[in-house]
């Protein structure tokens, strides 16, 4: 954790426990926030429908920019300083960045993304309503609904005369679903914003349960294992001159991965691709290939690709070290090399600050009559952009977006439009209370 000097924020945390006293019927400001959300909800849902029908698959740069321009226009109306960046240096469409400098309170970072997994060749291009509230559509939950919730919360705070008090930076990335390369450039704007922020709020859809919020996300990194052995007639396997061969060594390594790491809580490591034999011809995109071998020839090469998911930076470092140690313990006459990708999503580590922020969110939800909210099991929360804030902010939660659906990343993706107003109300009141914690 990188600690930043923030004496004002430390004071605000000190008094917070005394100030989050619950929603009062006499609190005119909070009532005005709720009323403003209701007044803008119809237009917000129309914006969800409009943007869902615009293809913004990550590699459709024009579509990503078109969606970004629509959100930019809404934020311009609210006095944000906005910019649609270009992603030429990392091979993507770019990001939407919007900022407002307020007078008091913590600095907020609100995170969304413009792109979806549904490219121009997908059969899933437009929304349909399954009933009066459930929308089936590409990116409705992941995460155009969440982007609109951000805008709706900002509109409500503005109508209530509270937005000028707040320091807010909104980042909606254009490459969350398929990160640009190098990732250090593609996520630079997000990381820089995190360094300036005290609190990060992510508007992904969590596990699609409106009663849960994410305080911890598992990070994801790819790994590759290359193993070599001595080719020879199969009758010579296990001799001092020939050894065990590449396939036996590969099986030893994978079996040891399982034996030593499989019981580690919230850690997973999946070998999703393997080829082996005398000679290999892997495809350039890493998803296939060919191997030549014969039953009477000791295998010379294998190639394995997989991913590794950990719930904290500490767990990730420990798992990598264990995997590298296992790889170094060769069977006779074999060699192996394990490498990890540089374009990795870090974990969102569970911290005391994240848990406290969930508690404040839960209090607001209960005060507004929406019931209690608990933490998502990190096994149900994949990698997301908020994870890039983990080293820098004092508090972070995710899963504040449109929920109540399912089928993410498939042609069955759905979301409950009734949650748009609910999530916006909780978000806006939470931010108001955090900024005005001394009241």
234-249 pLDDT tens trace: 999 999 999 999 999 9
* Cα of 6 vs its chain's centroid, Å: 26
Dig out the tokens for 35 from the structure. 């009323």
C-alpha–C-alpha distance, residues 193 and 344, integer Å = 19
Residue 31: CA atoms inside 13 Å, Cβ hemisphere, count?
5
User: Read out DSSP for 318-344?
Assistant: HHHHHHHHHHHSPPTT-EEEEEE-SSP
C-alpha–C-alpha distance, residues 119 and 125, integer Å = 9
User: Read out DSSP for 402-430?
Assistant: --S-B-TTSTT-EEETHHHHHHHHHHHHH
Please tell me the predicted confidence (pLDDT) of residue 15. 42
Give the mean pLDDT of 161-166: 95
Please tell me the predicted confidence (pLDDT) of residue 1. 44
The yes-or-no verdict on residue 21 having pLDDT over 80 is: no
Please tell me the predicted confidence (pLDDT) of residue 22. 47
The four Cα atoms 307, 311, 314, 320 give a dihedral, to 10 degrees, of: -10
Give the mean pLDDT of 331-343: 93
Q: What is the mean pLDDT of the chain?
A: 92
C-alpha–C-alpha distance, residues 275 and 263, integer Å = 27
C-alpha–C-alpha distance, residues 97 and 188, integer Å = 12
Q: Where are the domains of the chain?
A: 7-217+348-435, 219-340
The yes-or-no verdict on residue 143 having pLDDT over 60 is: yes
Task: Identify the CATH class of 7-217+348-435.
Answer: alpha beta
The yes-or-no verdict on residue 7 having pLDDT over 50 is: no
C-alpha–C-alpha distance, residues 207 and 301, integer Å = 40
Quick check: 73 and 50 in contact, CB under 8 A? no
The yes-or-no verdict on residue 304 having pLDDT over 80 is: yes
Sheet with 134-136, strands from edge to edge, namely: 128-129, 134-136, 414-416
Q: What share of the chain is helix, strand, coil (3-state, %, to 5)?
A: 40, 20, 40
Please tell me the predicted confidence (pLDDT) of residue 429. 97
The yes-or-no verdict on residue 11 having pLDDT over 80 is: no
**What residues contact 392, with CB distance under 8 A and at least 6 apart?**
2, 4, 191, 194, 195, 197
- How far is residue 193 from each of residues 71, 350, 384, 389, measured CA to CA in Å? 19, 20, 16, 8
- Where is pLDDT greater, at 219 or 248? 248
C-alpha–C-alpha distance, residues 173 and 147, integer Å = 11
Percent of the chain with pLDDT over 90: 84
Q: How confident is the model at residue 4 (pLDDT cuts 50, 70, 90)?
A: low
CATH topology of domain 219-340: Alpha-Beta Plaits (3.30.70)
C-alpha–C-alpha distance, residues 111 and 156, integer Å = 18
The yes-or-no verdict on residue 229 having pLDDT over 90 is: yes
The yes-or-no verdict on residue 120 having pLDDT over 70 is: yes
Give me the residue label for tokens 């019927």: 25
The yes-or-no verdict on residue 52 having pLDDT over 80 is: yes
C-alpha–C-alpha distance, residues 318 and 324, integer Å = 10
Helix residue ranges per DSSP H, 187-307: 188-196, 246-261
Please tell me the predicted confidence (pLDDT) of residue 23. 45
Give the mean pLDDT of 374-388: 88
**Residue 40: which H helix or E strand, with range?**
helix 28-52
Q: How confident is the model at residue 344 (pLDDT cuts 50, 70, 90)?
A: confident
Tens-place pLDDT, residues 165-205: 999 999 999 999 999 999 999 999 999 999 999 999 999 98
The yes-or-no verdict on residue 368 having pLDDT over 70 is: yes
**Residue 99: which H helix or E strand, with range?**
strand 96-100
Give me the residue label for tokens 């993706």: 413
Please tell me the predicted confidence (pLDDT) of residue 285. 80
């Amino acid at each position: 954790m990188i600690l930043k000097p923030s004496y004002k924020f430390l004071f605000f945390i000190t008094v917070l426990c005394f100030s989050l006293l619950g929603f009062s019927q006499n609190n005119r400001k909070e009532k005005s926030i709720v009323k403003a959300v209701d007044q803008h909800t119809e237009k917000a849902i129309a914006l969800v429908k409009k943007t869902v029908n615009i293809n913004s698959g990550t590699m459709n740069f024009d579509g990503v920019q078109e969606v970004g321009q629509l959100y930019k226009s809404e934020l311009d109306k609210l006095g944000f300083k906005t910019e649609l960046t270009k992603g030429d240096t990392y091979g993507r469409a770019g990001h939407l960045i919007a900022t407002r400098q307020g007078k008091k309170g913590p600095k907020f970072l609100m995170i969304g993304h413009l792109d979806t997994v549904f490219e121009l060749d997908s059969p899933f291009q437009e929304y349909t309503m399954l009933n009066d509230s459930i929308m089936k559509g590409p990116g409705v939950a992941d995460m155009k609904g969440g982007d609109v919730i951000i805008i709706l919360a900002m509109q409500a705070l503005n109508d209530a005369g509270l937005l000028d008090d707040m320091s807010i930076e909104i980042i909606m990335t254009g490459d969350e679903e398929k990160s640009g390369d190098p990732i250090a450039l593609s996520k630079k704007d997000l990381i820089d914003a995190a360094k300036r922020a005290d609190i990060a709020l992510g508007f992904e859809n969590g596990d699609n349960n409106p009663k849960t919020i994410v305080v911890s996300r598992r990070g994801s990194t790819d790994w590759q294992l290359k193993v070599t052995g001595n080719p020879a007639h199969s009758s010579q396997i296990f001799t001092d001159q020939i050894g065990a061969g590449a396939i036996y060594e590969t099986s030893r390594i994978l079996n040891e991965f399982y034996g030593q790491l499989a019981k580690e809580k919230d850690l997973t490591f999946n070998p999703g691709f393997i080829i082996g034999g005398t000679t290999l011809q892997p495809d350039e995109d890493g998803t296939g290939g060919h191997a030549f071998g014969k039953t009477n020839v000791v295998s010379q090469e294998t190639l394995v690709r997989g991913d590794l998911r950990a719930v904290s930076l500490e767990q990730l470092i420990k798992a990598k070290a264990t995997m590298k140690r296992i790889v170094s313990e060769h069977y006779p006459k074999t060699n192996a090399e394990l490498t990890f990708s540089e374009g990795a999503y870090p974990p969102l580590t569970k911290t005391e600050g994240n848990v406290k922020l969930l508690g404040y969110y839960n209090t607001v939800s209960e005060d507004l009559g929406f019931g209690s909210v608990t933490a998502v099991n990190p096994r149900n929360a994949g990698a997301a952009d908020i994870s890039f804030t983990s080293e820098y902010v004092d508090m972070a939660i995710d899963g504040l977006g449109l929920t109540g659906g399912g089928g993410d990343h498939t042609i069955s993706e759905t979301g409950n439009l009734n949650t748009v107003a609910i999530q916006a109300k909780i978000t806006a009141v939470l931010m108001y209370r955090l900024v005005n914690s001394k009241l």
